[in-house]
Amino acid sequence: MLIFFQKDDYVGVSVPTPSGYVFGYEPLASYDRVHHYMLYGCEKPYDESGFWKGQGKCGEGKAYILYVWARNAPDYELPEGVRMSIGNKGDDIKYLVLSIHYGMPLAGNTKDYTGVKIYMTTQPPPMLAAVYALASSDDLPPKLDRYYSNMSCVYNSSTPIHPFAFRPHTHVLGRIVSGYFLHGNEWTAIGKRNPLWPQIFEPINRNLTIQKGDVIAASCHFTTKERTEKTYNGMGSGDEMCNYYIIFWWDASLPKPEVAGQVCWDSNTDAMSKYPVDGWKPMPPNVEFDDLVHYNKEPFGVSQEAFYSEIDGFKLGQVVGLAFCPNGHLLIFRRPANAMGPSAFDSNNVLTNKTTISEAVILEINFNAHTPKITKRLGENKFYLPHGIYMDSEGYIYTTDIGSHTIAKWSVYGNSISQVWEAGVELQPGPGKDEFCKPTAVTRVKDSVFVTDGYCNNRVVELDASTGQWKSSFGSLGDSHDQFNLPHDIISTAKGNLQVADRNNGRVHEIRIDGQHLAVLEADQYKKIYSMDPSSKHIFVAPDKTDQYDENPLFIFVARTSQALTEYAFGPEHKKKFGIPHVIRVSKDDEDVYIGDVGLEGLWKFKVRFFEKKV
């Protein structure tokens, strides 16, 4: 989705409910981008179109709160044997509606793909679960060190309920939120928490039972001493809220409690006058939680910093490869404009123009200066059609040349390079053990060099890093989990595994260095990809157009590594578009993104504004 948000904007999304029983929720969200969201089960959605702007949630009929996320809360899994019924007879839930609150607009040309992954089973459980919410509509007077907003309702159902988790919610003025229930004259704590911490559903490690006639109560302690005017109760990030959510279970053989999915807005003054004092006592400090949760005062997004068609007066041409040096500089692997056209190879994949490029094809760029500077120009008269490049921690450069069908290791001496070894038969493509056919990319892990032998052989080849001798290979043409259809890029991860961009299959493989398949990342947003690069928590994917007639602008898609689902995307600003985003690399600090564009013949630089900290 692409929405140009204003401050405190809301978006609603609905989908028909599958039939089953929910046992877990995995949020795909960040507090840098999203203030909070709520998942509802509805008989009818607010808008039949399935997508709308505004605070609308459910339409006519029953509405149930299923899940709430805020402040970088982690995944949530229900206890064993406890499930939430959706899409089944009698639960009145025919649609799932996700209502997302964006506190600020997104910077740059950034798309957001916030959502939630729902884990379900078709097996009916012995215990069913639901959410009961208590909410206050109080406005907050200014200049008070303490203000208490209270809520309480009598439980009138005959079916006993058993709270097993709770979750507080305020905005920035809340200091403590607690919940209790009153049975006879005895108060029993449900739980309390600092609402400025990650707003998780905190487990209750006690067996609790609420029966008919009991009073369920909650209270929020606010501090408004820094406010000079009344703070209104409302949905905006500058407003305040006081909510307390309880997840409870009941015996699935008994009638559904009336409070399932409902909200208590009342406050029994007499009951609250006896509310336990401990419910208002502050929680002890938690440095870890305080550090994990932050809300940026500036919008999150990925902003275009520059597009370079030349640096220091040197025309970049087709930027096909990128790599970082140990000193933090960027290596650009380039070829002159129009170096590769439709007649570059004959029908046997043999290069037609067997003349090396006379210009420097490797540029070392210092982007730390106010204006980028070329610090080295390397590789004159040594390459035919450059493609992939990598520099190891010792300063050796590894390159692939699709024109000569070779891989080479180079040592750098001042402004020149010297070949250490070359693998493959120069200008002779082939499928053999000592041959390559248009190899696309290269990386190093420990004592091995790994090459995507891409355009013809559809395999990954392992070479000895010291000698260039063949060690092993894996992969073949196809679309199964251990096959490729043009492996176009390869990188090594922090864990020592490999990631391979499977271009025409539109996916990223994560593979152990022995060739064992670990995982695959693919998404509905793209069908082909050129390149990818992982940051500390995400993977950045540069897609290819679906076909030559596709006029839709390309975006870079960013997925959280642990989930392999698209989280956000970004593209050029000011009505500009990517041409062919051939290679992407992300700086070590996760802030700078460089994209080599073969179509526009240059280099893009983007800045990631504010990364989140997550539980």
What pLDDT, in 10s, does the model give residues 113-123?
999 999 999 99
CB 483 within 8 A of CB 503: no
Planar angle of CA 464, 465, 467, nearest 5 degrees: 65
Question: Count H helices, E strands: the chain?
Answer: 2, 45
Say which residues have a Cβ less than 8 Å from residue 400's Cβ, sequence separation at least 6: 386, 387, 388, 389, 406, 407, 439, 440, 441, 442, 451
Q: How many CA atoms lie within 13 A of 531 on its CB side?
A: 27
Distance CA 463, CA 279 (A): 65
State both tokens at 341.
Answer: 């056209």
Secondary structure of residue 273 in the 3-state scheme: coil
Report the percentage of the chain scoring pLDDT > 90. 79
CB 580 within 8 A of CB 531: no
φ/ψ of 388, rounded to 5, equals -120, 150
Distance CA 41, CA 29 (A): 20
Secondary structure of residue 421 in the 3-state scheme: strand
The arithmetic mean of pLDDT across residues 549-562, rounded, is 87
At residue 400 the predicted structure's pLDDT band, cuts being 50, 70 and 90, is very high
CB 145 within 8 A of CB 223: yes
In whole numbers, what is the pLDDT of the chain averaged over residues? 92
Q: For residue 110, what pLDDT is reported?
A: 93
Planar angle of CA 217, 223, 224, nearest 5 degrees: 125
State both tokens at 303.
Answer: 């902003």
Q: For residue 459, what pLDDT is reported?
A: 98
Distance CA 81, CA 125 (A): 6
Neighbour-count burial of 321, counting CB atoms closer than 10 A to its CB (0-12 exposed, 13-18 middle, 19+ buried): buried
Say which residues have a Cβ less than 8 Å from residue 9's Cβ, sequence separation at least 6: 3, 53, 101, 102, 105
Radius of gyration of the chain (CA): 29
Q: For residue 155, what pLDDT is reported?
A: 96
Our measurement of the distance from residue 599's CA atom to the centroid of its chain's CA atoms, rounded to an integer in Å, reads 28
Say which residues have a Cβ less than 8 Å from residue 424's Cβ, sequence separation at least 6: 404, 405, 406, 407, 434, 435, 436, 439
User: What does the H/E/C string look like for 252-264?
Assistant: CCCCCCCCCCCEE
The arithmetic mean of pLDDT across residues 372-386, rounded, is 96
Q: For residue 269, what pLDDT is reported?
A: 78
DSSP 78: P
Strand partners, 151: 218
What pLDDT, in 10s, does the model give residues 168-189?
999 999 999 999 999 999 999 9
At residue 378 the predicted structure's pLDDT band, cuts being 50, 70 and 90, is very high
CB 479 within 8 A of CB 504: no
CB 404 within 8 A of CB 426: yes
Domains present along the chain, CATH in parentheses: 1-125 (2.60.120.310), 132-239+264-299 (2.60.120.230), 385-609 (2.120.10.30)
| Start-to-end CA span in the chain (Å) | 26
Q: For residue 31, what pLDDT is reported?
A: 84
Q: Is the pLDDT of residue 225 over 80?
A: yes
Say what the pTM is. 0.87
Strand partners, 441: 452
What pLDDT, in 10s, does the model give residues 412-465?
999 999 999 999 999 999 999 999 999 999 999 999 999 999 999 999 999 999
CB 66 within 8 A of CB 133: no
Q: Is the pLDDT of residue 301 over 60?
A: yes
Which of the pair, 261 or 157, is modelled with greater confidence? Answer: 157
Query: Which H/E stretch holds residue 389?
Result: strand 386-391
Say which residues have a Cβ less than 8 Å from residue 550's Cβ, sequence separation at least 6: none
- Nearest CA-CA partner of 541 in 489, 592, 497, 587: 489
- Nearest CA-CA partner of 532 in 435, 440, 411, 428: 440
Q: For residue 296, what pLDDT is reported?
A: 55
Distance CA 595, CA 230 (A): 49
Detail the residues annotated as belonging to a binding site: 35-36, 101, 169, 171, 241
Detail the residues annotated as belonging to a binding site for Cu(2+): 35-36, 101, 169, 171, 241
Look at phi and psi of residue 275 and say left if phi exceeds 0, alpha if psi is from -120 to 50, else beta: beta
Ranges 31-35, 339-343, 360-364, 608-612, most confident? 360-364
